[in-house]
Structure 1
Amino acid sequence: MKLSVACNFDPQLPELLAPYPVYEVYGKLASDPFGGGRPSFYLPQIGIGELERYVRLVHSQGLQFNYLLNAVAMGNVEFSRAGQQKLEKLLGALEDMGVDALTVSSVFLLRLVKRRHPRFRVRVGAHMFTDTPRKVRFWAENGADNIVINEVSIHREFAVLRAMQQAAGAVELQLIVNNWCRTDCAIAGTHATGLNAASQQGNRGFPLDYCSVVCNWVRLQDPVNYIRANWIRPEDL
């Protein structure tokens, strides 16, 4: 078993993870031109220099660092000349500081990174909702090194998971073990898109995470929904 753990940029975190089978931590700047899977106000407010120092700290403890570029929608800025320049600047900075891997939710970014920055390992994020062998093969054929399996639907569908593993070949599949989303959530895609916009530079304000409000309301109507969620018990890992 290998674990990839969310990073809060606490300098004590890498040492605290030492007793566990953790191979990498993942995180991102609070905002960048392309956004990611968490709103800026959720994230530690660090700059590029602090990120670089933390990557060095992580490496000193024998861990790797995965930077999140996992926005589902980037307003098509990634296809513009100005967007391409910003993307190359960010990727170059991440490569220079020794970031080991990237998480993306875009076949365009996957292909671009593999062509222009082949040193990075690239993981396809959970917000691509990969839940069939055919989808696994698509990402594998486009160069993915890791694929995170759909976090809202198939964690307990063992026959499907086995078929996906066979389709993956040498590509590594990953599960989110502490997910609390409702099983087969109907608004997961909308939620992912809203979260992306909330961490893109230039988007101001304190966004209301309306999808989270709705899902919390549903859970509270029937608390069994907490048990139905796709989390995995520690003793089952």
Structure 2
Amino acid sequence: SRFLSRDVYDRLPSTMEKILNRKEFRPYVRTMGINIFDLPDRVVDEERVAEHHAIIITNMYPEALEREEMQLYLMIIGRMLEAFMPACKVEYTTVDAICAARNFRCHTYRIIEKGWFGIFEREDEIAGQQYHPISIPELKNGETVTVTGCNLIHKKDLPVSAYTDAGLIEYMDTAGLGTVATRTGILQTLIDRKYVRYSGGYIIPTRKGLYIYETVRGMKIADPALTSGWETQLAGMEQGKLTQEEFLEGA
């Protein structure tokens, strides 16, 4: 889950005070700009905690970590801090121009207030594939400008890259398929049943998998919303918020 229960949230200030006082974490604290004893509670949602709350640090500092392990620990701390920081304010600009009867478009952005972006400065999180941090002059609608140069570039479209383990599990998370505890097992089941296989570091469908896909494509059972909806309802049954009869009536 990406949320915390209220009891975990209430213990965070004392945990953060103990851990973040260490010298290796001071750069994060300076970047935060928030009071750890008055943390925003927007990450608290009892209904969406599911089997386990979001991954956070404990009040025990890990000793004798390898370099890679410490990097992972720092990533968890940084991501946790991002969740409590102010919004990153970004200005996006799209410029449409016509030259020699051809249409041109430019996407650019600039950061107005860093907010959570100041921790890791992950530009892909705010820019995507279209926008680039290039500087453009101030322009007005309908303005005519002078072309100072041009060139022609020939490119080829490549097929969309296949999923890696991490990429597929991230997609399953976004689509609401499975849970944190079951997604890896679901992927292994697909491999064991020979619906997908590894090709290098990527996961690709087998002929058997493609046959199954063509068979169920368009059916309700192939809709991710069906599975994610059932997951939510089954969690509700586990918590006593939904009866078995109510689930079966809506299935």
Q: Structure 1-normalised TM-score? A: 0.27
Could you say which structure has the larger radius of gyration?
2
Q: Taking CA–CA contacts closer than 8 Å with sequence separation of 6 or more, which of the two structures ends up with the larger relative contact order?
A: 1
